[in-house]
Structures are given as C-alpha cells and as structure tokens.
Amino acid sequence: MVLNLGILISQNGSNMINIVKACNEKKINADVKIVISNNPNSKGLKKLRALKTKSATVLIKDFENKKAYENKIDELFKQNNVNLICLAGYMKILEKDFLEKWSGKIINIHPSLLPSFKGLEPQRQAIEKKVKFSGCTIHYVNEIVDDGEIIDQSIVRISDDETVDSLKKKILIEEHKLYITVLKKILNVYK
C-alpha cells in the first residue's frame, strides 16, 4: 500500500518539510498529496514552494464557524485521495465531526513523553518540573487532547543548564526521525 498523506501545519513546518523530503527521496513508500496551513504567514508553506508539493491555506475567519472550516479541510483531503492525516505542529483542536470522519486515520506529534505534559508549552512544563528526561510522542488522535493511543516515542536527556529553547531544538531533532519511523511502522501494518 502507498500512504497518501495530508499534512496540517500552523507555523514553522520543519516536521512537514522533513516528511515531504523523505517521500520525495523515496525513503518511505508515501506521497504527500497536500499540505494545509491555517495560518497565512506560515513559514512552512513558504519553504514548501521549492518542493512542488500541493498546498492550501484555509483560514477559520473565512468560514461561518469551525465546523464549516473543518468541512473545507475534509473536502480538500478527500479530493486529494488522502488516506492518513499527519498533524505536524497544527495548533488547533479538531472537532468531533471531523474526528469521526477520519477515525483511526489522524496522527499527531507532541513534544513530550505523553501522558506527561499534555497541552501547551510541554517543553517549559518539563523544565519547570525539573524532570531529567523528556522527548516526543506520536499518537493517534481522539477526542481528548494529547490522549490517543501512543504509536512510538523518543527520549532526550535534559541537562542541568537546559533552557526551553535548547530543549525545543533537542526534541525537534528527535521528532524528525520519529515521524519517519512511525510512517514506516504504519506502512508495515498495512503491508
């Protein structure tokens, strides 16, 4: 089977670019069919231009409500034959209707070792708790934020002089590797 990926981003898009490159270089048997950003100034979409992957910006303010906004995203993914949605720094919560339509077909990356440090600023939460290890988690998305079945995780050591910024960078390096590992894992399941 070939994974037809739809990726949702909000800002920087480094995970998304990494996935697009891995697909283009045939490191995984997957195609990125479309990348959607909810942010008109997303750096990720700017970087994507050079890679010739289809993209769209869908702004919540252009719709009557969140349901209509998510219906547009659903329509774009369906039109492009997407069969797995990857959230990669998508900073909005998906509503029940959308989740039901894509049940079992949405994965998310979160920069902590879930179930620790759910929600916003998990790297700051980890530093403030003085934990010695953190990392990243890729999980299926369900109706509860950062709660779905865990697919895989990577660990990083937090040093004594770690800052929120240095931890973000350290975890991001692991995120890039983990996303590719997980996509390969999912491909193996459906082989």
3-state secondary structure of 56: strand
Query: Which of the residues 77, 89, 110, 113 is marked catalytic?
Result: 110
Query: Tokens for 132?
Result: 């010695």
Q: Return the number of the residue (79 or 163) whose C-beta is nearest ligand GAR.
A: 163
Q: Return the number of the residue (178 or 186) whose C-beta is nearest ligand GAR.
A: 178
Question: What is the nearest approach in angstroms of ligand GAR to the Cβ of residue 24?
Answer: 17
Question: What is the nearest approach in angstroms of ligand GAR to the Cβ of residue 79?
Answer: 24
Give Cα separations from 146 to 120, 159, 166 (angstroms): 10, 25, 23
Question: What is the nearest approach in angstroms of ligand GAR to the Cβ of residue 137?
Answer: 9
3-state secondary structure of 2: coil
Q: Return the number of the residue (13 or 190) whose C-beta is nearest ligand GAR.
A: 13
Query: Tokens for 97?
Result: 């209707």
Tell me if residue 110 is catalytic: yes
Question: What is the nearest approach in angstroms of ligand GAR to the Cβ of residue 37?
Answer: 10
Q: Return the number of the residue (75 or 143) whose C-beta is nearest ligand GAR.
A: 143
Contacts of 107 (CB under 8 A, 6+ apart): 84, 85, 86, 87, 138, 139, 140, 141, 151, 182, 186
Residues of this chain that interact with ligand GAR (CB under 6 A) are 9, 11-15, 44, 88-89, 109-111, 172, 175
In single-letter form, the type of residue at position 78 comes to K
Q: How far apart are CA 73 and CA 66, in angstroms?
A: 11
Residue with the shortest CB distance to ligand GAR? 89
What are the catalytic residues?
110
